[in-house]
């Protein structure tokens, strides 16, 4: 993931910060307990986006380095930390290609959906060197509901969005994550590699759904261009006509982690 990789998310930053959900309390509590985070711990959230992991993690660690190549996204992360009263979040411009000894060592490194954009093998090998003994790396991911959700309202959203943007194929639920991330962790030297899943239920309103779509790289305001207003109007009208608000999403957060 380089500075160029942040380009697809230009124009999404505000929507990403406001409408992208976090990974849930259960997943973060699991990591805090598994890696025994406390006030003496340093953590790295690589590809932090708008701080959906970094900021809540800062409640349990002495310092969290939030790193992302997109400076506007980092500004959103700083604002999230300020609102939460977390002064121990250090926002740093950079990506997996900028990892080096000058960052120091970490008890835990987390990566959310950003890991898809990285060179997984070399990133994990570098992080192994930056991980203190007993610490580890955790990869968090969840089903992207636009393409994998099967509720009627999700099908409606996909249909409308497909009229305005080129969307990934709608596949329905996928039980396994896209890449053998547990194997990559083991190949990089991490041990005690585990895969844990946490079920969740989330409610959306029409405004949240539209905002979420604008946070996606393939449906961003830049992609929609002059058709953004028409897209917003049509999708909102279609959702309101369904008379189903709040719209319920069920899914699973997967946490793949290994220890050094």
Q: What is the pLDDT of residue 154?
A: 94
Q: pLDDT band for position 233 (50/70/90)?
A: very high
Q: What is the pLDDT of residue 211?
A: 93
Q: What is the pLDDT of residue 149?
A: 87
Greater model confidence, 217 or 132: 132
Beta strand 191-204 with 247-259 is antiparallel
Contact 246, 47 (CB under 8 A): no
Q: What is the pLDDT of residue 16?
A: 79
Q: Return the SS3 of 189.
A: coil
Q: What is the pLDDT of residue 35?
A: 98
Residue 47 — left, alpha, or beta (φ > 0 → left; ψ -120 to 50 → alpha)? left
Distance (Å, whole) CA 116 – CA 138:
14
Q: Is the dihedral of CA 126, 130, 21, 13 positive or negative?
A: negative
Q: pLDDT band for position 11 (50/70/90)?
A: low
- Does CATH place domain 3-141+179-188 in 3.40.50.150? yes
Task: For the chain, give the number of residues.
Answer: 260
Q: What is the pLDDT of residue 245?
A: 80
The label of the residue with tokens 């509901």 reads 145
Mean of the per-residue pLDDT values of the chain: 90
Contact 253, 141 (CB under 8 A): yes
Q: What is the pLDDT of residue 92?
A: 97
Q: Considering the entire predicted model, what is its pTM? A: 0.88
What count of other Cβ atoms lies within 10 Å of the Cβ of residue 4? 9
pLDDT, average across residues 197-216: 93
What count of other Cβ atoms lies within 10 Å of the Cβ of residue 75? 15
pLDDT, average across residues 48-64: 96
Q: Return the SS3 of 89.
A: strand
What residues have CB less than 8 Å from 103, skipping those under 6 apart? 44, 65, 130
Greater model confidence, 172 or 136: 136
Q: Which two tokens stand for residue 53?
A: 């992991």
Q: Which two tokens stand for residue 159?
A: 């249909």
Q: What is the pLDDT of residue 6?
A: 40
pLDDT, average across residues 162-170: 91
Q: What is the pLDDT of residue 171?
A: 78
4 pLDDT above the threshold of 50: no
Question: Could you tell me the CA-to-CA distances from 150 to 158, 171, 176, 191 in Å, in that order?
Answer: 10, 9, 16, 36
Question: Could you tell me the CA-to-CA distances from 111 to 123, 201, 222 in Å, in that order?
Answer: 11, 22, 26
44 pLDDT above the threshold of 60: yes
| Domain boundaries of the chain, sorted by first residue | 3-141+179-188
Q: What is the pLDDT of residue 7?
A: 43
Residue 90 — left, alpha, or beta (φ > 0 → left; ψ -120 to 50 → alpha)? beta
Distance (Å, whole) CA 200 – CA 131:
30
Closest to 137 in 3D by CA, of 193, 67, 80, 73: 193
For residue 246, say if its preceding peptide bond is cis, omega within 30 degrees of 0: yes
């Amino acid at each position: 993931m380089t500075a160029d990789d942040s380009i697809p998310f230009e124009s999404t930053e505000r929507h990403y910060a406001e409408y992208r959900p976090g990974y849930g309390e259960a997943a973060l509590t699991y990591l805090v307990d598994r890696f025994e985070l406390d006030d003496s711990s340093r953590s790295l959230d690589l590809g932090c986006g708008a701080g959906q992991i970094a900021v809540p993690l800062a409640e349990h660690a002495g310092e969290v380095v939030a790193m992302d190549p997109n400076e506007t996204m980092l500004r959103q992360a700083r604002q999230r930390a300020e609102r939460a009263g977390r002064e121990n979040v250090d926002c740093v411009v950079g990506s997996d290609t900028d990892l080096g000894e000058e960052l120091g060592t970490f008890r835990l490194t987390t990566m959310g959906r950003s890991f898809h954009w990285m060179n997984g093998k070399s990133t994990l090998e570098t992080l192994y060197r930056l991980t203190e003994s007993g610490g580890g790396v955790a990869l968090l991911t969840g089903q992207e509901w636009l393409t994998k959700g099967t509720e009627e309202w999700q099908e409606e959203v996909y249909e409308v969005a497909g009229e305005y943007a080129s969307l990934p194929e709608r596949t329905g639920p996928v039980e396994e994550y896209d890449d053998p991330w547990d194997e990559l962790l083991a190949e990089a030297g991490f041990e005690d590699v585990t895969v844990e899943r946490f079920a969740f239920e989330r409610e959306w309103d029409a405004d949240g759904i539209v905002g979420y779509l604008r946070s996606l790289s393939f449906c961003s305001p830049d992609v929609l261009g002059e058709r953004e207003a028409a897209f917003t109007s049509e999708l909102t009208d279609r959702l309101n006509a369904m008379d189903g608000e709040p719209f319920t999403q069920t899914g699973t957060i997967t946490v793949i982690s290994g220890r050094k």
